[in-house]
Amino acid sequence: MRRRITALDGIAALLILLLIVQVWLLSATLDAFLAGHSDAALPGAITSGVIFAAAAGLYRFVQRIDRAG
Amino acid sequence: MIKLDEKKDKIRSDSLWRDEFSVFLERERFVGRRQLIKFLTLTSLGMFVGNVWILVRSWLRRDQTFPRQKIAFAGEIPIGGVKLFRYPTPQEQCLLIRTGEDDYVAYSQKCTHLSCAVFYSSGDNQLICPCHNGRFSIRDGAVIQGPPTRALPHVVIERKGQELIAIGMSGKLEG
């Protein structure tokens, strides 16, 4: 039980770090877009997608360790 | 989980109010972590959707065309004078400023900080936002001081005889 809680804490901390990067990415891309530069939009969307895939993977991992009991 | 149930049964047998107030801290914390992880994952999805939205808008903007619109006659305004006009849509106000005998510049009047209307100060030769004292260069619309981080969108002007015609915008603000 204790190890599972530690794993959940670690995953939550990792997700928070990923979200901080994603928030920064979104604000930087939006700022560039509003300034009339569209070059950052595609790399921004791809990187954000990769970060979301990692977050979804971590969520799936939590579900898997729950099912394993 | 079995241990938790045993604990619950033991406490239940201890007192009746525990049965009525059936909140167990350990179990609540366990659920809380899962809820947080789910919330963080959904927030990450929201950020991704935001980035995709920006991408779609930038693709649509690539095909954006600006109308040709007569905005003034040369000599209609004095040197250092200003004329207001709406471009490229009737909702977007812009400033035409005569900076010299044959020099004209035009910018969006919407401050890039919080959309207050900027005005031209001939004394300072700058565009000033009265809300937070943001200042923009009359030469290229660049930020000189204050909270704005982006330059004012610039209206491209073409002179055809005595007519000044707006033909496009650079650094155009969306929405």
Each residue's pLDDT tens digit, B112-159 = 999 999 999 989 999 999 999 999 999 999 999 999 988 999 999 999
- How far is the C-alpha of B110 from the C-alpha of B84, rounded, in Å? 12
User: Which chain B residues are within 8 Å of A42, Cβ to Cβ?
Assistant: 55
Q: Is the pTM of this model over 0.80?
A: no
User: Which chain A residues are within 8 Å of B29, Cβ to Cβ?
Assistant: 5
Contacts of A27 by beta carbon, 8 Å cutoff, 6+ apart: none
Q: Which two tokens stand for residue B126?
A: 């700058």
Single out the residue of A43, A28, A19, A44 nearest to residue B43, CA to CA. Answer: A19
Q: How far is B41 from chain A (nearest CA, A)?
A: 6
- B110 neighbors B173 (Cβ within 8 angstroms): yes
CB atoms within 10 A of CB A14: 15
Residue A26's SS3 state is: helix
Residue A10's SS3 state is: helix
- pLDDT, tens digit (0-9, with 9 covering 90-100), for B38-52: 999 999 999 999 999
Percent of the residues in chain B that have a pLDDT greater than 90, as a whole number: 56
Does A8 contact B170 at a Cβ distance shorter than 8 Å? Answer: no
Does A52 contact B153 at a Cβ distance shorter than 8 Å? Answer: no
- For the question of an ipTM over 0.85, the answer is yes
Alpha carbon B58 to its chain's center: 14
Single out the residue of B98, B93, B103, B91 nearest to residue B120, CA to CA. Answer: B98
CB atoms within 10 A of CB A40: 20
- pLDDT, tens digit (0-9, with 9 covering 90-100), for A8-65: 899 999 999 999 999 999 999 998 888 778 889 999 999 999 999 999 999 999 998 8
What residue in B sits closest to A13 (Cα-Cα)? B37
- B38 neighbors A11 (Cβ within 8 angstroms): no
- Using CB atoms, pick whichever of B47, B149, B174 lies closest to residue A22: B47
Does B47 contact A23 at a Cβ distance shorter than 8 Å? Answer: yes
- How far is the C-alpha of A15 from the C-alpha of A37, rounded, in Å? 30
Residue pairs between chains A and B whose CB atoms are closer than 8 Å: 105
